[in-house]
Amino acid sequence: MASGFFAILDDIVALMDDVALATKVATRKTAGILGDDLAVNAEKATGFLAERELPILWSITKGSLINKLIIVPIALLLNAFFPAAITIILLLGGCYLAYEGAEKIIDYFFHTEKQKPQEIPESKQAGPIVDQEKAKVKSAITTDFILSVEIVIIALGTVAEQSTMIQIATVSAVALLATVGVYGLVALIVRMDDAGYKLIKRSNGEGLFAKLGHVLVGALPVIVRILSVVGTLALVLVGGGIFVHNIHYLNTLFPSIPATIREFGVGLVVGLVIAGVFALFKSLRRSSKASES
């Protein structure tokens, strides 16, 4: 009986070793997507009032965890019974990411002049602010869902030949690490200025800690602007990468061009086409309403 117990322990240890190794490989292969996920979500998690940053970030984090709870079991089931569906889902996600990135680029180049916001009485400000927060949280969770699909699928691909238990444990571990790691770093980024102010205050504005505080305060706007640009480019790049990796013709198109440039180009073209279709649809809809009135 004792020997049987120790044999079970040996099997568990061997399984954990296999899972740890597979998780390490899967995490390394998804590192690029995790970097894009960080850039995109850090950009989306900024722009709130200081006292609202962490509560809103926690709402996005909970949404991300729910996304993983939905995606992981569905991905495992589809991989086992209908693997072709995974490619279709990835391509739909690529369309969404490419469109969102292209829309940001179009808005930057062609809508630089923004109308000044109308003054809202203090008694009516709470509603619009709450609505803005909910809209931004919803957008962040939606984008996280698409990126999470890509992360989970890549992680699943690294253990496709392994046993079912290793697949489940590895994909779950990568999904959890992605959420905790990404949003932990996002929390550190958005709270940089508060940490800087505290350092300045505690050091009475003098000494090494005060200088460090000023660096943190001054660096946050720069990092946010950089992340905004990186996040936009990441949306297009990841979207294009999905198409290039899952459509053989695009994967072999222009082989002399570096893969990153090819993926970005494909993502930008797809995003602009989808944005053009939406713009045409909106224009026709407005014309239809105008003719009816």
pLDDT digits (tens, 9 = 90+) for 240-272: 888 888 888 887 888 888 888 998 999 999 999
In a domain, residue 18? The reply is yes
Query: What digits encode the pLDDT tens for the residues 196-248?
Result: 888 888 877 777 878 888 888 888 778 777 877 877 888 788 888 888 888 88
Confidence of residue 33 (pLDDT cuts 50, 70, 90): low
Length of the chain (residues)? 293
User: Tokens standing for 152?
Assistant: 């989970």
Q: Given CA atoms 161, 163, 167, 170 in this order, what sign does their dihedral have?
A: negative
pLDDT digits (tens, 9 = 90+) for 68-80: 899 889 888 888 8
Residues 6+ apart with CB under 8 A from 269: none
Residue of 135, 149, 143 whose CA lies nearest to 56: 135
What is the DSSP-derived secondary structure letter of residue 117? P
Per-residue pLDDT tens over the stretch 161-195: 777 787 888 888 888 887 887 788 787 777 777 77
Strands (E) located in 76-192: none
176 in a structural domain? yes
Instruction: Please count the structural domains in the chain.
Output: 1
- Per-residue confidence at 42, pLDDT binned at 50, 70, 90? low
- Quote the CA–CA distance of 11 and 101 in Å, as a whole number: 47
Whole-prediction pTM: 0.67
Higher pLDDT, 33 or 100: 100
Report residue 203: phi and psi, to 5°. -95, 5
Q: Cα dist. 44→35, 63, 67, 217 in Å?
A: 14, 14, 17, 19
Task: Answer whether residue 238 is part of any domain.
Answer: yes
Is 293 a member of any domain? no
**pLDDT, average across residues 91-104:** 86
Task: Please tell me what DSSP assigns to residue 30.
Answer: T
Q: What is the pLDDT of residue 255?
A: 82
Residue 126 lies in a domain: yes
Range of the domain at 176: 2-287
Q: Which long-range contacts (CB under 8 A, 24 or more apart) does 155-161 make?
A: 155/26, 155/27, 155/29, 155/30, 156/75, 156/76, 156/79, 157/29, 158/22, 158/25, 158/26, 158/29, 159/22, 159/26, 160/79
Q: Residue 277 and residue 174: Cα distance in Å, rounded?
A: 36
On whether residue 292 sits in a domain, the answer given is no
Q: Which two tokens stand for residue 149?
A: 């699909």
Does some domain include residue 75? yes
Residues contacting residue 230 through CB under 8 Å, at least 6 positions apart? 39, 43
Percent of the chain with pLDDT over 70: 75
